[in-house]
Structure 1
């Protein structure tokens, strides 16, 4: 679900790029960044964006994205199978890049830990809402920590979890 104000969109763990391409086509004025650690995935995403004429989609490795870059929307089908610690590290680093008023949408299967992931995010100070639950999949909406303002948008603020 993209809004009119979503000008900077991140597809985190883009795979072959379906989410990035759809986001780019539905929001042609947005800058859509597709990020993955896998070079083959980035190549496939770039090719699919070109074939589908989603000219506002760019691809990058995570290390090539400026840490100061903020996103209005993060879309992610998280790589659950990397393990809980790696997944938590990945989400912690990218969710802190949400702009003020931004939102993340995560698609996670119930049997792959959607409920425990939602609890972990809540424990870190994020507000988490389950928007949809269908065929075992959950769509989680995640707001920045601190009640809608990203910790990284506030100078001098510690990144400890909010009670």
Structure 2
């Protein structure tokens, strides 16, 4: 599960079991100033680089809290989860995806980079009732509007009081209309706004304010 960028037509990265051959690739990446060696594969979103939307989110999102429970919705091979774990080693980072290959890769990359505070799995593996101080996501826009809305309304209401979410969405894939929809759907206890714009992307901030 992830994200805004187009992939090869046969690469269903938001499917539970990718149809493509599992061919692993090694990458060295820099995530908010932290160096990491990672493994990626076909059938996982942005297998050959840190995609532009994720890079925009990493560049513009504010410093995470020092501790708390964090969530990465649609973790892919783990770029956002690793960044959160590097920035806040005392936090617990829950990385979720539907793609079993993505889950395996994020687990491997967390272990490889010494991030024992990353907990990887499907949505069903997240403890029931757990609330999050922070959510980061490059959400899977291409799963369709209804499915996207359902996904976001599953997790954003689990922001703790005074918790924040940062979502990166391409402007030409409906970021501004999504801001308006989230503002209405989440109601008066949440503030939804454009936090930053860069390279055709919007970073959307959701604050559980009241």
Q: TM-score, length-normalised on structure 2?
A: 0.67
5 Å matches for 1:109-128?
109-124=170-185, 125=187, 126-128=190-192
1:115-158, Cα deviation, whole Å (9 max, x unpaired) = 111010011123112111011011111123xxx14xxxxxxxxx
How many residues align structurally? Answer: 146
1:37-83, Cα deviation, whole Å (9 max, x unpaired) = 11111101111111221121110110222330100000000100000
2:198 is aligned to: 134
Question: Which whole-Å CA distance do the structure 1 matches of 2:192 and 2:67 have between them?
Answer: 19
Question: Which whole-Å CA distance do the structure 2 matches of 1:6 and 1:111 have between them?
Answer: 35
C-alpha distance 7-94 of structure 1, shift in aligned 2 (>3 A): same
SS in 2 for 1:96: helix
Give the drift of 1:8.
0.7
C-alpha distance 132-6 of structure 1, shift in aligned 2 (>3 A): farther
SS in 1 for 2:90: coil
1:93-121, Cα deviation, whole Å (9 max, x unpaired) = 10011001101000001011101110100
Question: Which whole-Å CA distance do the structure 1 matches of 2:84 and 2:66 have between them?
Answer: 13
Question: Which whole-Å CA distance do the structure 1 matches of 2:152 and 2:202 have between them?
Answer: 17
List gaps (5 residues or longer) in structure 1. 150-163
Q: Does the Cα contact within 8 Å between 2:66 and 2:88 map onto a contact in 1? A: no
5 Å matches for 1:90-109?
90-109=151-170
Pairwise CA RMSD: 1.2
Question: Which whole-Å CA distance do the structure 2 matches of 1:82 and 1:6 have between them?
Answer: 32
The answer to whether 1:69 aligns with 2:130 is yes
Q: TM-score, length-normalised on structure 1?
A: 0.85
1:19 is aligned to: 80
Q: Does the Cα contact within 8 Å between 1:2 and 1:23 map onto a contact in 2? A: no
List gaps (5 residues or longer) in structure 2. 1-61
Question: Which whole-Å CA distance do the structure 2 matches of 1:105 and 1:133 have between them?
Answer: 12
Q: Does the Cα contact within 8 Å between 2:66 and 2:89 map onto a contact in 1? A: no
